[in-house]
Chain A
Amino acid sequence: MKVAFITVNPPSATEGSVTPAVIGLLREWGLEVTLIRPDAELIDLHEVQVEHDLYVLKSGTELALSLAGMLDALGATMINPYPVTARCRDKIVATRILQSAGVPVPKTFLAVHPSQLAPLLDHGPLVVKPHRGSKGRGVQVVWDADELGDVATAAGPIFAQRYHEPTGRDRKLYCMGGQLFGVKRVWPARNYDDKLGEPFTVTSELHEIATRAGKAFGIDLFGLDIIVSDGRPFVVDVNPFPGFKGVPDAALRLADYVYDATRRAVDAAQRGGAAA
């Protein structure tokens, strides 16, 4: 069985990444694992074809998404599927999908110029984010109108959400094949231990949120960033392939999931082939 990880960095380059261990386990279990790094390799567009039973779309860069889109068009099996990943990567689209599914999200605004946000600040601070950002990069809390001049506009539309003062640590919810894991984490993380956070038993309310989010996107592998403010949870981000940091036995569980997904992909292809 052949699996390809579409990734940004060599997996070992990220501290605490579970990916190297996952790849190691999959190889030990007899899978042929290839790393595809579209941001570091020359790609001949005409040579791109489906060569693996399963693609794991780990990277969210524009080039990785484009490559995933090409492979998707060629019939590749991918976790997560390109269309879903593309929707998740666009915070505007993702937030609306979550809201439509009844998932609590902060009130959200779109603007093309920071000054358009000024009247909203009369009702409280805003969190401004790049609409295609990730990993907390470019996230800024704006309290006063005179801070709007610092808001970056080069990344396109301005995505702003009402700021809710977090009570305690942020919650990370990780879903993997219908299984749900919760990790409490300090944000921003100051060190590796902060990144690992602390597992907790997910409550009914958060379980319902994760279930709705998964159904809304039609995926069973994702992460949700949740802040809790005055006892109310708000989903502030969705990640189609999170790092699963802090999940007990994360690498083993993720390897088990990818292995099973690969087997199912092979079985499905064989059934298709036999039917043909």
Chain B
Amino acid sequence: MRAVVIGPGLIGCGFVGQLLRSSEWEVCFVGRGPVVDLLRRHRRYLVRLVEGPDADEVLVDGVSALGLGDRRSAAAAIAGADLVATAVGPGNLAAIAPAIADGLRARQEPNNVIAFENLLRAGPHLRDQVALHLPPGFPLDGHGFSGAVVSRAVSQRRWPKAPGDPLVFVGDRPSAFWVDRPALREPLPEVTGLVAIEQYEARVQAKLYTYSAGHAACAYLGFLKGYHYIHTAIRDPEIETAVRAAMAEGQRGLAARHGAELAGGEKELDAILSRFANAGLADAIVRVGRDPRRKLAADDRLVGAARLAAACGPAPEKLALAVAAALVFCDPSDRSCRGLHHQVAVTGVPGVLEAVCGLGSDDWLARLVTEEFNRLSAGWAEHNLLLSLEPALWAWASPADLAGPQAVAVDAAPALAGVG
């Protein structure tokens, strides 16, 4: 059996490719950049599955790779594949849709396309994108399109130390992924870890509104408190408490919508927090926090979880705090961050909450987020950090304080009694 994996990145290589090869599939990666050259040349890479200081190494060999720019070869590979997988990031699905359309057009039999993207409705979204590049009347319904909920976190790609060394991808050990059974065509692909379910959207929400919400909250709050890694930030008692509470708020909404079993309880939260504490991943806060605009979408991990929770109980305060922290998050190399900050400067927070998060100004969740944002942004400046989240105590006086008449005199510097 042959599979094409579009996107030889962290999830593409560190999860999808590894599971396919361990299930004895032939794997051809399609992508861009130096990774494609390395895979084409060496035909192998290493996946390091870590749990703290312990690691298992899995050699993934016998793979091939094609450049996405070689459209004819890519289309031929897709046409001849028994499974097409994507792992390109939700924002890039539109860009790869033409290649998939070309491949499906050249194929007679039904096929399955699985989008390994951390996104609600990833399958239908990719299908719609592909349809844009097919002629009217093309029998696209003959092909299956599903998203996939990935259980593994893959945090790093390490380049070869020496010529001939393999690429290395670092992730944790979970290997299950859930797909939307009704959206796929028979026969379902036989791949290690594949779990075909009926209530797929509920499963996506369950991951987004607990694990992903907690991960994002940890990154944004960790950034505010000056940490570099998720495993470090989660050791901060204040952050651990806030992240747990944010995920519990997510669970509350999930339980109301889909039932307590899917939402999970304390045990599931413990397991997630334990994964965040996995130092072997060395997962950088700027990686987990990147692209905050996408992560703040109305149905995504933070706002989506907060809206669901708000609909069935008290204010999701910690999710609102995480949303506010995401608006402050600042990675100068991240275009999404810069754009978001610009938008905040131009339209104010209410404008961003409406345009990005789908929260109208009369929405009490928007007011809660705005309150938190005002509290955080009052002290924020590059390299400044919060010594304490509650109350918000900054390491040094903000630029506004520096310039204004409220500047704190040396001897009148407010003491942070009880911090530490």
Contact = CB atoms under 8 A, between A and B. Distances in A.
Interface string A180-206: 111010000000000010111111111
B397 A202 contact: yes
B226 A253 contact: yes
Nearest to A261: B228
Interface stretch (B73-81, B351-359, B382-390): B382-390
B226 A29 contact: no
Nearest to A176: B226
B278 to A, nearest CB: 9
A256 B395 contact: no
A178 B395 CA distance: 12
B133 interface: no
Contact of A28 (B52, B162, B407, B414): B52
B310 to A, nearest CB: 31
Contacts of A182: 395-396, 413
Contacts of B420: 196, 199, 246-250
Nearest to B54: A30
Given A29-B279, A248-B420, A205 B410 contact: yes
Contact of A256 (B160, B228, B388): B228
B346 interface: no
Given A30-B280, A248-B419, A249-B236, A201 B231 contact: no
A149 B173 CA distance: 71
A202 B413 contact: yes
A75 interface: no
Interface residues on B, range: 35 or more
B411 A30 contact: no
A248 B280 contact: no
A116 B419 CA distance: 47
A202 B395 contact: yes
B235 A252 contact: yes
A204 B401 contact: yes
Contacts of B407: 203-204
Interface of B: 52-53, 158-163, 225-229, 231-232, 235-236, 279-280, 282, 383, 385, 387-388, 393-397, 401-402, 407-411, 413-417, 419-420
Top 8 nearest A-B pairs by Cβ distance? A30-B53, A29-B279, A204-B402, A202-B396, A256-B232, A248-B420, A199-B416, A260-B228
25 contacts: A30-B52, A30-B280, A168-B411, A181-B387, A199-B416, A199-B419, A200-B413, A200-B416, A201-B393, A202-B396, A203-B408, A204-B397, A204-B407, A204-B408, A228-B410, A228-B411, A233-B410, A246-B420, A249-B225, A253-B227, A256-B228, A256-B232, A259-B279, A273-B161, A274-B163
